[in-house]
Amino acid sequence: MDHQTPPSSPPHVLIFPLPLQGPIKCMLKLAELLCLAGDIHVTFLNTHHNHSRLLRYTALDSRFSVYPQFRFQTISDGLPDDHPRSIDRLGDLLNGLWTVTNPNFKELLNSGGGDRRPVTCVIADGALTFALDVAEEVGIPLIYFETISPCGLWTYFCVHKLIEAGEIPFQGDDLDAPIQSVPGMEGFLRRRDLPSFCRTTDLNDPVIQLAMRECRQVPRSRGLILNTFEDLDGPIGIDIKDTCERGVIEKMIKDLMNAKGDEFRQSMDRLSKLARESINVGEGGSSVCNLNRLIEDIRSMKV
C-alpha cells in the first residue's frame, strides 16, 4: 500500500532487534540516542516474551518514560510460552520468526504504524533477513544494524568460502587447526575462533543458512550500522558512512592483525579511552558525528 506522510510530519523509525539479549540491549541504546534528536518518533518492536521479561526485571518503563515520542510495540515470536528460548534452541526461534513473525511484521508495516504516523524507516537486526523483503514490498527504507563486531561480520561473509574450501564442516576435535579461507585472517584464525555454528556437521543447519542469507541481504539495504567506533576501525580502512563492501572489511582485518596486531592486543586501555572520547559531543567524537549522519539520513527518507 502507499504510505503518504505530510511534509511537516516528523520521521518515524521502527527498530526491530533479533530477540536475544545482546541485540536488544544494543538497539535500546540506539533508540535512546534517536529519541534525543527530539523530532524523531521511535517504535521499538519487541517479542511478547522478551518484553514481558524486560518489564519484570528491568526499569524499562521509567527509562523511556522521559521520551514522549517513544513507544514499545510487541509481536509474537511464534513459540509456545513454555519454550526455553535458549541459544541452543536458536533454530526453533529462527523458524518461529520466519513462519509467524514475518507475516505479522508485514501486516504491521501495511497498517501504516497503527495509531501513530506511518513508519518512514526501519532499523532491523541483520539476522532478520525477511525484514528487508517486507520493507521493500511496502516501500519503506530499511537500515541494517549489525550488533556483532565488524571482524565477526566478515567471518559471516566468508562462510561460503569456508564451505567451498572444505574447512567446514570439519572432522575431529582439533580446535587449534588453522583456518585459511577468511581473507585477512590467514595465519592466526583457528577453528575455535569461528562462530559456534561452524562446528556443526550439517550444512543445512538453519544458523549457517541464516548467516549466508544475511550476507546476501546486507548490500541491498539502505545502509548499515556497525557496532564499532571510528578511532578503532577508521584508520584501517572502514568508513561507517559507506556501504559495507567485502574488500573494505578484508583490508580492515588484514591491516589490523598484520600491521597493528601487537599494538591492538596491548592497548586495551587506550582503546577504552578512545571509545569514551568517541561519544564526547564537545570533542566532536566520531560516534556522535556518525549518529548525526544517521539522524539526517532518517530525516531525509521519504516513503
Cβ neighbors of 66 (< 8 A, separation 6 or more) are none
> Per the domain annotation, does 162 fall within a domain?
yes
What percentage of the chain exceeds 70 in pLDDT? 75
Phi-psi sector, 179: left (phi>0), alpha (psi -120 to 50), beta: beta
What's 203's DSSP letter?
T
Whether 66 is covered by a domain: the verdict is yes
Angle formed by the axes of helices 150-157 and 206-217, nearest 10°: 100
**pLDDT tens readout for residues 59-96:** 988 899 999 999 999 999 999 999 988 877 888 888 89
Give the pLDDT score at 177: 92
CA quadruple 85, 23, 244, 99: dihedral positive or negative?
positive
Say how many domains are in the chain: 1
Higher pLDDT, 287 or 71: 71
Q: Which residue has the higher pLDDT, 181 or 259?
A: 181
Residue-wise pLDDT for 209-253, tens only, equals: 888 888 888 888 988 888 876 555 443 334 334 434 544 445 545
Maximal CA-CA distance, the chain: 62
Q: Is residue 4 assigned to a domain? A: no
- When mean pLDDT is compared across 60-69, 112-121, 254-263, 278-287, the lowest value belongs to 278-287
Q: Is residue 71 part of a domain?
A: yes
Q: What confidence tier does 254 reach under pLDDT thresholds 50, 70, 90?
A: low
Identity at 194, one-letter amino acid code: L
Which pLDDT score, from 0 to 100, does residue 269 have? 53
Instruction: Classify residue 1: in a domain, yes or no.
Output: no
d(CA 297, CA 269): 33
Q: Of 5 and 254, which is predicted with more confidence?
A: 254
- Residue 221's SS3 state is coil
What is the number of other CB atoms lying within 10 angstroms of the CB of residue 273? 12
Mean pLDDT of 10-37: 92
Task: Determine the average pLDDT of the residues in 191-211.
Answer: 87
Global pTM value:
0.75
Residue 75 belongs to domain with CATH number: 3.40.50.2000
Q: Distance (Å, rounded) from C-alpha 248 to C-alpha 37?
A: 30
The residue type of 142 is L
The answer to whether position 42 is within a domain reads yes
Contact 210/127 with Cβ under 8 angstroms?
yes
When pLDDT is cut at 50, 70 and 90, the band that residue 291 belongs to is confident
Q: What's CA 19's distance to the chain center, in Å? A: 11
- Domain assignment present for residue 3? The answer is no
Top-confidence residue, 288 or 278:
288
**pLDDT at position 61, please?**
86
d(CA 120, CA 299): 9
Alpha helix stretches (DSSP H) within 13-96: 21-35, 48-57, 60-64, 90-96
The region that residue 80 occupies, defined by phi over 0 for left and psi between -120 and 50 for alpha, beta otherwise, is beta
Higher per-residue pLDDT: 264 or 296: 296
Any domain includes 229: yes
Burial 251-261 (b: 16+ CB within 10 A, else e): bbbbbbbeeee
Confidence of residue 99 (pLDDT cuts 50, 70, 90): very high
pLDDT at 294 over 70: yes
The β-bridge relationship of strands 121-125 and 142-146 is parallel
**What's the domain range around 177?**
12-300
